[in-house]
Amino acid sequence: MQSLKDDDSFPVARTGHIACAVNGNMLIWGGFGQADNGFGEKYVPCESLWVYNLELQEWTRHEVPGLNMIGRSGSGCFSHRGKMYVWGGFPNHTKEVYCLDTAGISWQTIESEGEVPEYRDKFVSWQYHERLIVFGGFGPQPVDATKDSWVLDPSSIVEGLPQSRGWNNDLFEYNIETNRWRKPKTKGPVPCPRASHAGAIIGQRGFIFGGRFKEKRRSDMHCIDLITFTWSGRLTIQGPMPEVDHGTH
């Protein structure tokens, strides 16, 4: 693995980063990788932004100041009108939305309104028109949590850390046009809490597969209608199933 000492030709090796398509480019930001001295790991500096031009097949590195954090992994992102929006991630215990203006290459911190969710990482996010919908993840206990919607990870109880953390199955929606969060009331059987699951969107339906809950890796698939917010229940899958591999929370 490469160290976190960037050169000018290629991004360093990393995990937990985000990739976002904006105006024909792929933007790479954040993540976790090997430290400069080759021993241990640390977060990729948040000032480091890499842009891959899909037509020219070239990488360009940008140093973008403006974020008061050491780095972040496990975030969610989406693009809207030439800008990249980022929310969530670890270890920064913040609920703000961060906006990258790709024209001026500058960050803006947005204080959103409404039913803002607790910070979390390793969630799934879908973009449907001007809305970002997030599901699940790993983070502190929400105020309105029930025994079925948030489950504590005992290993997260560490002296000196501000909050213990666990898995959730919350669903929230952020509207970029109104800058407001809300927690829609869903219908149908809600999947169990999980983190590190995969997601995809087809039309108006968002899909999730797998993830981790407690000590188990999941292999179930669910679907939600992003207009009516109706869950499908566990979908029947035919053919060979993907292997459930190891992972993090």
DSSP SS3 for 29: strand
Are 103 and 187 part of one and the same domain? no
- Out of 96, 111, 126, a domain closes at 111
Angle (nearest 5°) at CA 88 between 80 and 134: 65
The domain boundary, picked from 48, 83, 111, lies at 111
> Among the three residues 111, 142, 175, which one is the final residue of a domain in this structure?
111
Parent domain of 83: 1-111
The answer to whether residues 85 and 174 belong to one domain is no
Cβ-count burial of 229 within 10 angstroms (0-12 exposed, 13-18 middle, 19+ buried)?
middle
Whether 151 and 194 share a structural domain: yes
Same domain, 64 and 167: no
What is the three-state SS of 42-102? EECCCCEEEEEECCCCEEEEEECCCCCCCCCECCEEEEECCEEEEECCECCCCCCEEEEEC
> How far is Cα 100 from Cα 114, in angstroms, rounded to an integer?
22
The total domain count for the chain is 2
Tens of pLDDT along the chain (249 residues) come to 344 455 668 898 999 999 999 999 999 999 998 777 666 788 999 999 999 999 999 999 999 988 888 889 999 999 999 999 999 999 877 889 999 998 888 999 999 999 999 999 999 999 999 999 999 999 999 989 999 999 999 998 876 666 789 999 999 999 999 999 999 999 999 999 999 999 999 999 999 999 999 999 999 999 999 999 999 999 998 887 766 554 444
| 79 and 90 belong to one structural domain | yes
